[in-house]
């Protein structure tokens, strides 16, 4: 299979402009005759559904939550990047593009990244017009801050709730279209199957999570915006319901899965307290602007932090990376935290934690300035840990937080199944092997507001789409497959709960496919995961019935898919014999412990094809060319 990226050539500044002109249009009067399905209502899904309905398409939108306003985009705290250069500090579209390609460790497609940087400015305008209450200066203009190691101030924010406010902006635009009758909204519906008719994506089967009914929906094209799959690690900063099911079903129907092993581990999360832990909480990495990260110099030093004198502390990031210090990119900060804890210098009861200390900042700026900047984060920390970070250093530890991998898409955001599009975190596209801070919100909204409204028209206008109804045999088959799967899960009647399997899978993934990976570990995981999966299907206990609200059944379906995905992630990580961004292979590092890429062999996207149950998936490659940003060893020293 040849992977056609369909990215335009020519000067990079003009690619999207030219591509927009070259794409076909759907006549305004004909748009209402096309029906579109959008699955997911986060930043990407809600912005897409609203914008497509505004254009006149007949849109149906699905989400598993009780309301589209709950999607997990809402939890993003820090901000959204845009190359506005409002601060006159040397930012530009090219610089944002450059930083994003470099930050992604040269594993993203240049054309896509440039487009993202170019459209970033329109996103801010759009959100301001919607009434998103961004932070302002006293003169009334938009405020910016530097974020996640960027050398310019290009991040826009709304207190520590930027994701919430951007999502509510998109949600309100979506509700407006729902009120106008242009979008049919299906909350508490979970997509269980993709329906492909005549080689094209033509609908979905979804479960009504209240009645348990399996329902078919037909459309002219399907858009998946279902977020990331980091819950494969069980403990992650994702919402509990986040899952891989929608894109996994698409993978099984022929959509290729790009770079599944690229996961991001966020450095500033609250450490685990015990086996009851159900999720991890992230605190914005903006904390690293003022907090200093350290551990004791000596192993096993259990003194309270205040009793450890300055000379017996190791501010390891400042020591190793003098020019970036505590603001090194996420992958570097996370890996270093793991390293010092593995050396036995971690802090807290578990030993899996490092200090993030605000004592110096409080001395320099005063507690009230720190409270104004980070008050809500300090409160949240105190609520969870019962410790006051104004007095005692915070304890942090890395946690899974984002997945750069996802369904492979071309420049038009279409997967390898014609008509099936994929947006936001669910696709693999723009972040390469590592995502920079404040870029996820940008990508979700870019895809939804400004890319898919153009590219979907091109698809619809270029393809003859016969009328397909839900009485087509493909829908019946898909319904039957979903129904059999549900029945099988309920019929196992084993002894172990779904959560116990999920937790075990998470531990395997964290140990063997987490922050640092090696051949032996990945091979071990590739033995253990199939064994666990087999045990799951023999011994899982799912109480209740199919035809009712059944949260155990919902979880069981998702975990069944995670048990398959985990194997693919390990396979991808094993095959990629290099280190790049969030994918760190211990065998491939520089003498001073930094990630070492192998551009000769791995300057490509790995896209996996499902070849049938019980058969090895096939690895395809999309070569990556770098015409503008030349691959170099990332250095943050």
Residues serving a catalytic function are 330
| Spacing of C-alpha 169 from chain mean position | 20
Min. distance of Cβ 543 from another protein in angstroms?
Answer: 6
In terms of CB distance, is 241 or 329 closer to another protein? 241
End-to-end CA distance of the chain: 41
In terms of CB distance, is 185 or 340 closer to another protein? 185
As beta bridge partners, residue 314 has 295
Longest alpha-carbon distance in the chain: 75
In terms of CB distance, is 168 or 413 closer to another protein? 168
Min. distance of Cβ 595 from another protein in angstroms?
Answer: 30
Measured N-to-C along each axis, helices 93-103 and 110-130 cross at an angle, to the nearest 10 degrees, of: 120
Min. distance of Cβ 280 from another protein in angstroms?
Answer: 9
Q: What is the DSSP letter of 616?
A: P
Backbone angles phi, psi at 481, to 5 degrees: -60, -45
In terms of CB distance, is 141 or 616 closer to another protein? 141
Q: Count the neighbouring beta carbons within 10 Å of the beta carbon of residue 473.
A: 8
- CA–CA separation, 59 and 453 (whole Å): 12
Q: Where does 52-162 show beta strands of DSSP type E?
A: 58-62, 80-81, 155-156
In terms of CB distance, is 29 or 141 closer to another protein? 141
Q: Count the neighbouring beta carbons within 10 Å of the beta carbon of residue 28.
A: 9
- CA–CA separation, 431 and 118 (whole Å): 15
Q: What is the DSSP letter of 145?
A: B
Distances (CA, A) of 166 to 24, 129, 157, 173, 280: 30, 12, 9, 11, 23
Note whether 527 and 570 are within 8 A (CB).
no
Q: What is the DSSP letter of 451?
A: I
Residues 6+ apart with CB under 8 A from 262: 107, 403, 404, 405, 428, 431, 432, 433, 434, 581, 582, 583
Burial (Cβ within 10 Å: 0-12, 13-18, ≥19) of residue 212: middle
- Pairing verdict, β 354-357 and 406-407: unpaired
In terms of CB distance, is 412 or 579 closer to another protein? 412
- CA–CA separation, 334 and 56 (whole Å): 46
In terms of CB distance, is 279 or 485 closer to another protein? 279
Distances (CA, A) of 248 to 99, 259, 341, 565, 575: 31, 14, 35, 8, 20
In terms of CB distance, is 168 or 317 closer to another protein? 168
Nearest CA among 502, 452, 530 for reference residue 223: 452
């Amino acid at each position: 299979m040849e992977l056609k990226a369909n990215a335009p050539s020519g000067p990079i500044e003009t690619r999207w402009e030219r591509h927009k002109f070259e794409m076909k249009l759907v006549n305004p009067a004909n748009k209402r005759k096309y029906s579109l399905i959008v699955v997911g209502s986060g930043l990407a899904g809600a912005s897409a559904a609203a914008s497509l309905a505004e254009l006149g398409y007949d849109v149906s939108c699905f989400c598993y939550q009780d309301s589209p306003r709950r999607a997990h985009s809402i939890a993003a705290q820090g901000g959204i990047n845009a190359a506005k250069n409002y601060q006159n500090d040397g930012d530009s579209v090219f610089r944002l593009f450059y930083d994003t390609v470099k930050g992604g460790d040269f594993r993203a497609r240049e054309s896509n990244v440039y487009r993202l940087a170019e459209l970033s400015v329109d996103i801010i305008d759009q959100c301001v017009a919607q009434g998103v209450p961004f932070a302002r200066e006293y003169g009334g203009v938009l405020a910016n801050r530097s974020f996640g190691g960027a050398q310019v101030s290009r991040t826009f924010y709304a207190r520590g709730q930027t994701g919430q406010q951007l999502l509510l902006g998109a949600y309100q635009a979506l509700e407006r279209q729902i009120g106008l009758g242009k979008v049919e909204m299906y909350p508490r519906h979970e997509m269980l199957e993709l329906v492909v008719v005549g080689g094209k994506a033509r609908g979905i089967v979804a479960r009504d999570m209240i009645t348990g009914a399996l329902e078919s929906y037909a459309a002219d094209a399907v858009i998946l915006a279902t977020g990331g799959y980091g819950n494969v690690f069980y403990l992650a900063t994702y919402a509990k319901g986040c899952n891989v099911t929608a894109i996994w079903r698409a993978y099984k129907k022929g959509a290729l899965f790009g770079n599944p092993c690229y996961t991001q581990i966020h450095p500033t999360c609250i450490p685990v307290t015990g086996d009851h832990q159900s999720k991890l909480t992230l605190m914005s990495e903006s904390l690293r602007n003022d907090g200093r990260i350290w551990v004791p110099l000596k192993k096993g030093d259990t003194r309270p932090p205040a009793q450890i004198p300055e000379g017996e502390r190791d501010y390891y990031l400042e020591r190793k990376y003098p020019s970036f210090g505590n603001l090194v990119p996420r992958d570097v900060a996370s890996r270093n935290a793991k390293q010092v804890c593995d050396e036995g210098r971690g802090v807290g009861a578990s030993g899996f934690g490092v200090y993030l200390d605000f004592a110096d900042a409080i001395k320099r700026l005063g507690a009230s300035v720190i409270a104004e900047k980070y008050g809500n984060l300090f409160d949240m920390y105190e609520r969870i840990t019962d410790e006051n970070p104004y007095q005692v250093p915070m304890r942090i530890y890395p946690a899974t937080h984002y997945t750069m991998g996802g369904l492979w898409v071309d420049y038009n955001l279409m997967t390898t199944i014609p008509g099936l599009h994929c947006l936001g975190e669910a696709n693999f596209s723009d972040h390469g092997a590592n995502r920079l801070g404040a870029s996820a919100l940008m990508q979700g909204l870019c895809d939804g507001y400004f890319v898919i409204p153009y590219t979907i028209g091109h698809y619809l206008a270029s393809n003859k789409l016969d009328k397909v109804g839900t009485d087509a045999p493909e829908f019946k088959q898909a319904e039957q497959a979903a129904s059999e799967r549900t029945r099988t899960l309920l019929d196992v009647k084993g002894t172990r709960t779904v959560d116990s399997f999920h937790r075990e899978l998470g531990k395997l993934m964290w140990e063997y496919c987490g922050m640092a990976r090696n051949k032996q570990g990945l091979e071990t995981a590739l033995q253990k995961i199939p064994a666990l999966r087999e045990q799951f299907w023999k011994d899982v206990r799912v109480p209740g019935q199919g035809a009712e609200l059944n949260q155990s059944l919902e979880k069981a379906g998702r975990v069944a898919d995670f048990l398959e995905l985990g194997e693919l992630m390990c396979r991808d990580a094993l095959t990629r014999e290099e280190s790049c961004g969030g994918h760190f292979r211990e065998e491939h590092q520089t003498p001073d412990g930094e990630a070492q890429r192998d551009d000769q062999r791995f300057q490509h996207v790995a896209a996996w094809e499902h070849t049938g149950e019980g058969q090895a998936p096939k690895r395809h490659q999309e070569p990556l060319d770098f015409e503008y940003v030349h691959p170099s060893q990332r250095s943050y020293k």
